[in-house]
Amino acid sequence: MKPYIEMTAEELNQELDSLQAQYKRIQALGMLLDMSRGKPCQEQLDLSMGMMDVLDSASDLTCEDGTDCRNYGQLTGIEEARVLLGDMMENNPKDIIIYGNSSLNVMFDTLSRAWTHGVMGNTPWCRLPEVKFLCPVPGYDRHFAITEYFGIGMVPVPMTPVGPDMDMVERLVREDATIKGIWCVPKYSNPQGISYSDETVRRFARLEPAAPDFRIFWDNAYGMHHLYDHRQDYLIEILAECKRAGNPDLVYKFSSTSKITFPGSGIAALATSPNNMEDFLVYLRHQTIGHDKVNQLRHVRFFKDIHGMVEHMRKHAEIIRPKFEAVEATLERDLGALKIGTWTCPLGGYFIMFDSLPGCAKDIVARTKKAGVTMTPAGATWPYGKDPNDSNIRIAPTYPSLADLQTAMDIFTLCVRISSAKKLLVEKEN
């Protein structure tokens, strides 16, 4: 079939009649499919069930240094967990704090502390007349929700195939002291699935912010989430690069095992400079006497070391790789020749990004929902939920079964074709 843009109004009307007949037949089936969030499927969760067996009432819960994990203490986490997460994050264990189950929680707390008490002795952000954050777009909706909650102004920065527009980032942070941070998902980004280039990481490490309390919120959520053994993205380690550049305190690096073990019961970690770490410990000493060390020990004994974690992630890839490939194959089969959308083909992470014709995304998502498929709301990948082009849609392939995912994608591409044909027909008739 030729591209829709080359069709006459008569041809588009004929195409629409056929598509809408298909759509009515699908609606009559009354399906309920959910691909709104990037959640692991049951088969992925089952991979970690062995963690339930590594500790029992007869287990010795003593660490190598003599710490009894049942008791108070170890504010920065047990040493074995710091080593394991240090290997996962490519950081020195001494530069790591182990938290509870959620890195998003750590990010929220970090921003909240900066808001109420400031960063390393600087004025608390709540006392400043204006505070802004840079937000690479399209980006992660939960990041944007945190800054919106605190009333922090969000400045969109366009994403490129190698990361945020660094010319814009460098200029803004150099010229505007009200800009206090930037959100980053540097590897297999949400929603594109792209990874920052070496040059992009080096430019981040060499930023010259006007604000002394500017920090990069480096959310390396998908650092180990490869789809393929021999085709993987690699990322320069940001803390080492910052140290080389003479900016050791510039970054807060977050990660967790949320999509490695159990999303609700994993362990989260922060890696940062010694100066930043001492700043964190000031509030942590008031907040807690230590996080869940039993869960930390459970993870260590389940994986044993980083090699065990790598093998575990290969099993994840075997489950979700066919789903990503099914999405990409369906998009190419149904839309490739029509020139009514573009999409990413990532080598890892949890999402595929689809860009429709301008002005169609909300209509596409609404149509898919009426046909029984719930997707991430259109606009969610932009601050305040406002996509200026109304074109960006996040596809989350991991949670549905492969059969359900194929059905959902068949519906999705049908809705893309209907919305696109209607838009182009209106343009031709006007």
Average pLDDT over the chain reads 97
Report the C-alpha gap between 135 and 207 in whole angstroms: 16
Binned at pLDDT 50, 70 and 90, residue 414 comes out as very high
Q: What angle do CA 373, 374, 379 make, to 5 degrees?
A: 130
pLDDT at residue 289, rounded to an integer? 93
Mean pLDDT, range 173-191, rounded to an integer:
98
Torsional sign, CA 145, 252, 306, 224: positive
pLDDT at residue 429, rounded to an integer? 81
Report the C-alpha gap between 71 and 278 in whole angstroms: 23
Q: Number of helices (H) and strands (E) in the chain: give both, helices first.
A: 13, 13
Residue 127 corresponds to which tokens in the numbers above?
Answer: 């006392």
Query: What are the tens digits of pLDDT across the range 305-319?
Result: 999 999 999 999 999
SS3 of the chain: helix, strand, coil, percent, to 5: 45, 15, 40
Report the C-alpha gap between 133 and 153 in whole angstroms: 6
Q: Are 253 and 91 in contact, with CB atoms under 8 Å apart?
A: yes
Residue 197 corresponds to which tokens in the numbers above?
Answer: 């280039």
- CB count within 10 Å of CB 307 equals 10
Query: What are the tens digits of pLDDT across the range 63-109?
Result: 999 999 999 999 999 999 999 999 999 999 999 999 999 999 999 99
Beta-sheet strands, E only, within 122-206 = 132-137, 153-160, 163-164, 179-184
Mean pLDDT, range 343-352, rounded to an integer:
98
Termini Cα distance of the chain:
24
pLDDT at residue 428, rounded to an integer? 85
Report the C-alpha gap between 41 and 38 in whole angstroms: 9
Whether the predicted pLDDT of 1 surpasses 90: no
Binned at pLDDT 50, 70 and 90, residue 430 comes out as confident
Beta-sheet strands, E only, within 268-349 = 268-271, 341-343
Q: In what order do the strands lie in the sheet with 179-184?
A: 96-98, 268-271, 251-256, 215-219, 179-184, 132-137, 153-160, 163-164
Packing angle of the helix pair 274-287, 103-117 (nearest 10 deg): 90
Mean pLDDT, range 230-249, rounded to an integer:
97
Query: What are the tens digits of pLDDT across the range 271-298?
Result: 999 999 999 999 999 999 999 999 999 9
Nearest CA-CA partner of 184 in 260, 119, 91, 253: 253
Mean pLDDT, range 396-409, rounded to an integer:
97
Report the C-alpha gap between 421 and 284 in whole angstroms: 56
Q: Which residue type does 375 have?
A: M
Whether the predicted pLDDT of 348 surpasses 80: yes
Nearest CA-CA partner of 235 in 259, 263, 202: 202
Percent of the chain whose predicted confidence (pLDDT) is above 70: 100
Report the C-alpha gap between 271 and 122 in whole angstroms: 21
| Residue 218: its H or E element | strand 215-219
Percent of the chain whose predicted confidence (pLDDT) is above 90: 98
Residue 259 corresponds to which tokens in the numbers above?
Answer: 């999509």
Ordered domains of the chain (ranges, CATH)? 4-44+310-429 (3.90.1150.10), 61-303 (3.40.640.10)
Nearest CA-CA partner of 251 in 277, 221, 229: 277
Nearest CA-CA partner of 381 in 149, 142, 57: 142
Nearest CA-CA partner of 301 in 24, 62, 115: 62
Torsional sign, CA 128, 185, 108, 121: negative
